[in-house]
Structure 1
Amino acid sequence: MKKLSRRLFLGNTTALSLAGFFGLMPAADKSKQNKKGDFVHHVYFWLKNPESAADKAKLIEGLTTLKKIKPIRLARIGEPASTNRDVIERGYQVSWLLFFDNLEDQEVYQKHPVHLKFVENYSNLWDKVIVYDSVDV
């Protein structure tokens, strides 16, 4: 039997530990991926005054207040990217992207007092809203 030095032993165990850790990384990443039934709610806002930076900032301020509603798993506020292809819609001023665990959580969000207050306080800013809801398959 070959004698194993302490240095060789530590090197081998470190290498095996790292290999094990990185070998598990794809499994960990997979757990972060959407599961079937996840509910995605994407809202696009066209402002009444699309050139008004103040109106846009006010709408973003209002959307930020919605982030504290509990069933929301992930929320993102966006604006049109600089991409330019025929299939890209860039006429809106602000987008609101939400992820929920399921349809029921999204319905809780819709009826939540903070959401209802948002609509009451900020709906005067937009001229048009389009919503795309989808369920992960």
Structure 2
Amino acid sequence: MKRRSFVKNNFALGAASAFMASAIPQAFGASGSPDANTPGTIVHSVYFWLKKGISPSEEKEFLKFFEALRKIPGVKSLTFGKPAPTTKREVTDNSFDYNLIVTFARMEDINIYETHPEHLKAAGEFSKYWVRVQVRDTMIG
């Protein structure tokens, strides 16, 4: 009796796992992350240079800015990080402190995002932590 229950439970678990695994590539692309390679996707890359001398707690507070932006309608994906420790080359600029990457399905979505009250409010609240911001937007072709 225990063997039948074990086999039955493991079969159900295996079937559920197979279903989930087949759904993930369709929802997120083959890489397991939101598909930013879809033609027409807007990739909004924002580079931040933080003020010198901010404390670790202030830097942690600054990161709440990204979480506030995540809630804005039209955001397809949002991720952020620090510069990668890549080989120093003349064409590489790792002088920034954080990079924010937000993707949007359509131009209309980024246009709403840029002027959304929550975006403007968050930028006003957290701008005290940075000295420079640089934006680069790309439309995937």
Give the structure-2-normalised TM-score. Answer: 0.70
Q: Is the 8 A contact 2:42 2:110 kept in 1?
A: yes
Query: Deviations 1:30-80 (Å, cap 9, x if unpaired)?
Result: 9x4622111010000001126632332121111111111120001001111
The answer to whether the Cα contact below 8 Å between 1:47 and 1:125 also exists between their aligned partners in 2 is yes
Q: Which of the residues 43, 48, 63 maps onto 1:45?
A: 48
Q: 1:71 to 1:44 in 2, by over 3 A?
A: same
Asked if 1:55 is matched to 2:71, the reply is no
- Between Structure 1 and Structure 2, whose CA radius of gyration is higher? 1
Q: Give how far 1:125 is off.
A: 1.0
Match of 2:67 among 54, 64, 67: 64
Aligned residues: 113
CA-atom RMSD in angstroms:
2.5
**Contiguous gaps of at least 5 residues in structure 2:** 1-21
- TM-superposed CA distance for 1:127, in Å, is 0.4
Indicate how the Cα distance of structure 1 residues 84 and 72 shifts in structure 2: closer, same or farther if over 3 A, else same.
same
Which of 24, 31, 37 in structure 2 is aligned with 1:34? 37
Indicate conservation of the 8 Å contact 1:56/1:93, yes or no.
no
Q: CA separation in 2, counterparts of 1:40 and 1:135?
A: 6
SS in 1 for 2:63: helix
TM-score (normalised: structure 1)? 0.72
Could you say which residue in structure 2 is the equivalent of 1:81?
Answer: 84
Alpha-carbon contact 1:40-1:135 (below 8 Å) kept: yes
Identity of aligned residues (%): 29
> Which amino acid is the alignment partner of residue 87 of structure 2?
N
